[in-house]
Amino acid sequence: MGMNKNNLRKFELLCREIEREKFTGKKLIEVNINTGRITRIYEFPIRKEIKE
């Protein structure tokens, strides 16, 4: 994928944000493969009890 450093950084930050949410929410990231740009970010709230 032709991602430049700036877009790759954005993608990494989004991945970390998803990890921090601990699966209480869900993000779907749409990436344009030709340009390597993130075109859309969809957010889906998920109601889920976290058992520890």
Number of domains in the chain: 1
Q: Report the alpha-carbon distance of residue 29 to residue 42 in Å, rounded.
A: 6
The SS3 of residue 20 is helix
Residue 52 lies in a domain: no
Residue 51 lies in a domain: no
Residue 30 has a CB neighbour count (10 Å cut-off) of 10
Residue 50 lies in a domain: no
Residue 23 lies in a domain: yes
Residue 17 lies in a domain: yes
Residue 13 has a CB neighbour count (10 Å cut-off) of 10
pTM (2 d.p.): 0.37
Q: Report the alpha-carbon distance of residue 1 to residue 35 in Å, rounded.
A: 8
Residue 41 lies in a domain: yes
pLDDT tens digits for range 25-40: 566 667 766 766 767 7
Q: Which domain holds residue 24?
A: 5-45
| Percent over 70 (pLDDT), the chain | 35
Residue 45 above 70 pLDDT? no
Residue 39 lies in a domain: yes
Residue 14 lies in a domain: yes
The pLDDT confidence band at residue 16, using thresholds 50, 70 and 90, is confident
The pLDDT confidence band at residue 12, using thresholds 50, 70 and 90, is confident
User: What is the torsional sign of CA 1, 30, 10, 23?
Assistant: negative
